[in-house]
Amino acid sequence: MKRRRLIGNTTALRRWAGSIAVLAAAAGGTAWAAPEEAASAQKSGVSPKARSMLEKMSDFLGGQRQFTVQVDGSTEVVLQSGEKVEFNHDSEVRLKRPDKLRSDRRGEKAEMEFYYDGRSFTLYGENNHYYATARAPATIDEAIDAARERLGIEAPAADLLYSKPYDILMEDVVSGTYLGTAFIRGATCHHLAFRGNETDWQIWIDDGPKPVPCKFVITSKKVEGSPEFTAEFSRWNFSPRLGDEVFHFSPPGNAKRIDFLAEQVAQGKQGDKK
């Protein structure tokens, strides 16, 4: 069954970008590719070097049992007037395979914490002290899918957290090109560009012994104004001390529990079919 992930999913991109405005309530230079490289990509779909680099990154990330990473992101929102505005945020992501994930997000529109402990999801808003909890499947891969499908929680960079990121990233790809190297936060990174039916995306991968993503950009071609999501990654740690308590949410004394609206809607639809 095809995963309902964000790249190539225009509806999800539009909803995710629009949800930035209401999230609090809901919970240096580039070296260009040689002409022959670009021509090869057009003829064969995805150039061998672009495919190889992406597979290398995917195998490395998927093989890590645990890690933490800092993600600095920005999301463009296209207003009805056609004006583009950009909302910035940063997140600390903590992952422990096969069934633990946490993301603490700080930004202009919301300060949110997301917990997955192998049994349940919890989303907590620090500004309003509301939290919502729902049952969750047994693995991170299944949990990311369920959070998107059942709860409407969209996080573009989550595609990189799957056990096999390559399979998820390449689902909608029709062509891919290796563009050379660039400097991201002082590191030399390989620059890859991919085209899909509904989105284009780029990724920069560290040239060092640990081929981690340095930067990730998604452009939604079929959303008016072609808004972009951008994420830069730093402070990777592959040997953190992550006890299970890190991924378990204990509500503060002033926290108020609410229900996930998306799950209520989904349950209502299922009830209509009976």
- Cβ neighbours of residue 73 under 8 Å, at least 6 residues apart? 88, 89, 90, 91, 157, 229, 230, 231, 232
Q: Give the phi and the psi of residue 180 in degrees, each rounded to 5.
A: 110, -150
Q: How many CA atoms lie within 13 A of 215 on its CB side?
A: 21
pLDDT on residue 7: 55
Q: 42 falls in which pLDDT band (50, 70, 90)?
A: very low
Distance separating alpha carbons of residues 48 and 159, to the nearest angstrom? 22
Q: 217 falls in which pLDDT band (50, 70, 90)?
A: very high
Distance separating alpha carbons of residues 57 and 195, to the nearest angstrom? 19
What percentage of the chain reaches a pLDDT higher than 70?
78
Looking at 25-29, 100-104, 244-248, 260-264, which range is the least confident one? 25-29
Of 18, 83, 50, the C-alpha closest to 190 is 50
pLDDT on residue 224: 86
Q: 25 falls in which pLDDT band (50, 70, 90)?
A: very low
pLDDT on residue 39: 44
Q: 153 falls in which pLDDT band (50, 70, 90)?
A: confident
Would the pTM of this model clear 0.85, i.e. be above it? no
Q: Is 118 left (phi over 0), alpha (psi -120 to 50) or beta?
A: left
pLDDT higher at 201 or 268: 201
Please state, in angstroms and as integers, the Cα–Cα distance from residue 42 to each residue in 31, 54, 176, 216, following that order.
Answer: 19, 18, 8, 22
Beta bridge partners of 195: 175, 200
Residues in the chain: 274
Please state, in angstroms and as integers, the Cα–Cα distance from residue 213 to each residue in 48, 54, 177, following that order.
Answer: 19, 9, 16
Q: Give the phi and the psi of residue 152 in degrees, each rounded to 5.
A: 70, 20
pLDDT on residue 108: 80
